[in-house]
Structures are given as structure tokens and as C-alpha cells.
Amino acid sequence: MPFSKLGLSDKVLAAVTAAGYPAPTPIQEQAIPHVLARRDVLGIAQTGTGKTAAFTLPMLTMLEQGRARARMPRTLILEPTRELAAQVEDSFDKYGKNHKLNVALIIGGVSFDDQDMKLMRGVDVLIATPGRLLDHFERGRLLLTGVELLVIDEADRMLDMGFIPDIERICKLVPFTRQTLFFTATMPNEIRRITEQFLHNPVKVEVARPATTATNITQKLVKAGRESHEKRDILRRMIRSADNFKNAIIFCNRKREVAQLHRSLVRHGFNAAALHGDLDQSARTAALDSFRNGSVALLIASDVAARGLDIPDVSHVFNFDVPHHADDYVHRIGRTGRAGKTGTAITIVAPADSKSIAEIEKLIGQSIAWADAPAGASSDAADAPAEARHNRDENRGSRHRSQRGRIGRNKHQDKHQEARPSHNGHRQSGRDETPRPESGPPAPVVARLEDARHRQQPRPAQAEPAEHADTSHLPAFLLRPIRRKA
């Protein structure tokens, strides 16, 4: 079915034709008519099948009538990450070039003042992350009472990763009569129950079984050892020997592992960039842009890049770490093989990852073939990363410094004990030679306890110093006579 049969306006059809899309994808073909009919839609489809255009195109058609008012957006799109929000903004710029609509991007890492100026002029389409959206609302800079259409993209991620309180609050701030669209690649049963309170009599559009992978993606598993440097060695050999290699996204579970792997690959001569949540927005945008335009061939990323990012012509995806959640595997490998192209996804499996691999195969309903690691010199201690050797040197140096510190403290204690008078009034010539009892607290602790008991006992009345006593060392106020009442 062509786009002209879906009910889109002439301006939208002209933009789609100029973009070079001859026919809609299955999710677009089934979802667009229901969106234009003002129905709530729950869309479930594989990643990379065009879910963004499934709600972007009908929104542009619906927004051709009407005008936005200051601080009252007409439509609201919620995204889990800044990168996804910026990608949706690019879609509106591409498909809405024939429209005169105001589109605002409200994400973290950007000045509040610039965003406030856009809201003040009136916004037809507001694309935001939940946290920054609520910040503007609490400052009194935004009203959500005029929202006609609410879109929650990557719904399972929005609801499954701590956004539930924010989403519930935002849904209470928008009108009850709004139209709500949910689009996601995976929809577990527990998440589906949560969506029931947000959608009103929705139309379920499911073009593929949830959590299935595209058939044009070749999936492989490669065994590795326990050590990280062994996995890095296997990864380097696979990159060098990969067939039809153009570029690749390498996923790690932790931000720290992303930084370490990035330094290791750069040190071995690879052109790579890093992307994770701790980077500021300018660095994240620069890393994505450099990967999109081909300046770098490798993008090492955490799962912040696994959801919905449309990066065309990615030939390979490497899972340096097996994802903790099986759903993340579907999203990760979905970065390749997009728009009908072929792709390759290779997962490096350590001995402790067998359980996670079993959960992944159970979720996608198929077994993943094992492949042999490319031949090459195995990694050894000499090939370990420089930062690991640096850490060992730091630890060794810290141990030496701590030992020197202990020696210095012991010397100081020895001198202090030599200068300390003994109970019989003579100075000790060295450490106390009296053997310490085998049980009970040390001698200094016993001394402190005895001093505490003495302090707790009532002090006797202070007597006047005897006349024959030497009082030259006492301060004057202690020599004053005590006046006693009769």
C-alpha cells in the first residue's frame, strides 16, 4: 500500500517522496490510519522498522489546522534519552519542511533560558525527556493543559527504568481527553498492565512477535576468558578480520568499561569514540555526529545508544558484555540491519554469561550459533592495557607509602615512649618489657579505661597547698585562698 492511501496530507506526502520512501513499513501502514482517526494506539514492532515515522507523519497532518499559544504546547512527545529526543526532532525537520510549525526540544544539558524562549513563542510539537519537562513545569514556565496528543516512545524503557512516577505525574497534568500513543519494540506482561491506566480503549498494532530479531541480522557467539584483556584481544582480532566491515557499535554494560575499552582501542590504533551517560551533552552529540558522518569507525557505547537511535549503514554490532536484561539484546543488535539491509551481531561470552545467553535465546525463540575466535596471538600480561599496569603501579606505590608511614609512626611512638616517665618517676630506657597478656585489651586501652573510671569518681575537696610545698610551677589563680561559708 502506498503512502497516498493512508490519509496523509499533500504536504506530508511531498516530504515523504522527497525523502525517498516509496512505501510504508508494516507498522506505519497499520498505525497511521488509527492515529489519524484519533484513536489511542499501542504499537509493537521490531526496532528499525520505522516507528518514529509512524507517529511523526500523522502528527504533521493533524497539526496543519490550529495554532499554538505561548507556553501551551499542542502535542507532547516523551523520550527516555537525549539522543532519541534529538533524533525525533530531526524527523520533524525532514518530514515537516513544508509546514510552518514550531518544534522545541526540551532536554538536559542545555540552557534553561534558550528553551524558555522557545516555549514563550508557542510550541506545536514539544519533544522532551521527563526530568527536564517537569523542571520547566515546576518553574511555572510550562502549561500542559493544551496538549491534544501525547506520545510515549520506547514505552517499555520509559516505564521499566525508573520513569514510572514521572510518567504518571505528566499524564495527570495533560487533559484526560488527550490522544495517547505508545510505541515500543518489547512489551513484557508487567509493563503492559501498567499501560492500561494510560491508554483508553487502544488499538493494538503488532506487526511482529514481541522481542523478535530481524532475519537479515547474522548473530554469532564467541567464547572468551574471564579476564577483560582477553576479551579486548578477541574484539580487536574480530574487527580486523570481519567480512564487509564498514563500522561498528560496541556495547558495554558499564560506563567505566566503556571508557577503558575506548582508551584501549585508541591505543591500538583504532579510530573510536565513546558514548555514555556521564558525558555532557556536547560530547555525546559530537560522538554521535562523528560516527554518523564516518569520521570514526567504532562507537563504544553503553545502553544509552541501544534504544531507537537511527544510525544508517551500521555493518556490525559487537556486544563486548552480554546484557543483563534479555530485552536489551534485541535493542542492541537492532542498530544494524536497518531499512532492509544486512548486518552482523557478535556477542563475546565469558564463562559467567551462560545464564544470560540462555535467557536471550528463550526470549528471541531461537538458538544463536557459536563461532570460533579469529586466529592470532593470544593476549598475555604484556598485552594488558596500560591503565591496568598503571593501576598496579599505583597500588604498589601506595603500599610502599603506607609501609613507610607505618615505620615513621612506629619511630615516633618509640621516641614518645622513651620520653614518657614511668610509674616510679624514672624515664624508661625503651619500650615496656613487661609481657602483654595473651587475652584482653591492649595496655593503652586499659590505661584509658582506668583513667575514665578515675574521672567518674567524685573528686575530693581541694585542699590548700602546704606552706613547705614548691608552688612556683602553679598559675596564680590556683594559689588564691578558698572562701568557705560559715
Write the pLDDT tens digit of every residue in 90-149.
999 999 999 989 999 999 888 899 999 999 999 999 999 999 999 999 999 999 999 999
**Residue 66's pLDDT band (cuts 50, 70, 90):** confident
CATH architecture of 3-206: 3-Layer(aba) Sandwich (3.40)
Question: 247: how many CB neighbours lie within 10 A of its CB?
Answer: 18
More confident residue, 260 or 482: 260
* CATH topology match: 3-206 vs 217-387: yes
**Residue 447's pLDDT band (cuts 50, 70, 90):** low
Cα distance between residue 23 and residue 17, in whole Å: 9
| Average pLDDT estimate for 225-241 | 92
Angle, CA of 319, 323 and 329, to the nearest 5°: 75
Cα distance between residue 416 and residue 108, in whole Å: 58
Whether the per-residue pLDDT at 422 is higher than 50: the answer is no
Write the pLDDT tens digit of every residue in 189-220.
767 777 888 899 999 998 866 667 878 899 99
Residue keyed to cell 536484561: 325
Helix or strand (DSSP H, E) at 251: strand 248-251
Instruction: Report the predicted TM-score, pTM, of the whole model to 2 decimal places.
Output: 0.64
CATH superfamily, with its number, for domain 217-387: P-loop containing nucleotide triphosphate hydrolases (3.40.50.300)
More confident residue, 370 or 398: 370
In whole angstroms, what separates CA 415 from the centre of its chain?
Answer: 54
Q: What is the pLDDT of residue 298?
A: 96
| Average pLDDT estimate for 385-394 | 47
Please compute, for residue 72, the number of CA atoms within 13 A of its CA located in the half-sphere on the CB side. 10
Please tell me the least confidently modeled range out of 75-79, 125-129, 252-256.
252-256
Are the beta carbons of 50 and 25 closer than 8 angstroms? yes
Write the pLDDT tens digit of every residue in 319-377.
999 998 888 898 889 888 877 788 999 999 999 999 999 999 998 889 999 998 887 64
DSSP string, 41-58: EEEE--TTS-HHHHHHHH
Whether the per-residue pLDDT at 289 is higher than 50: the answer is yes
In whole angstroms, what separates CA 185 from the centre of its chain?
Answer: 19
Cα distance between residue 208 and residue 364, in whole Å: 12
Q: Long-range contact list for 225-228, CB < 8 A, 24+ apart?
A: 225/350, 225/351, 226/350, 226/351, 226/352, 227/379, 228/257, 228/260
Please compute, for residue 480, the number of CA atoms within 13 A of its CA located in the half-sphere on the CB side. 5
Pick from 289, 303, 292: nearest CA to 333: 303
- In this structure, the chain runs to a length of 486
Q: What average pLDDT does the structure give for the chain? A: 81
- The residues spanned by each domain of the chain are 3-206, 217-387
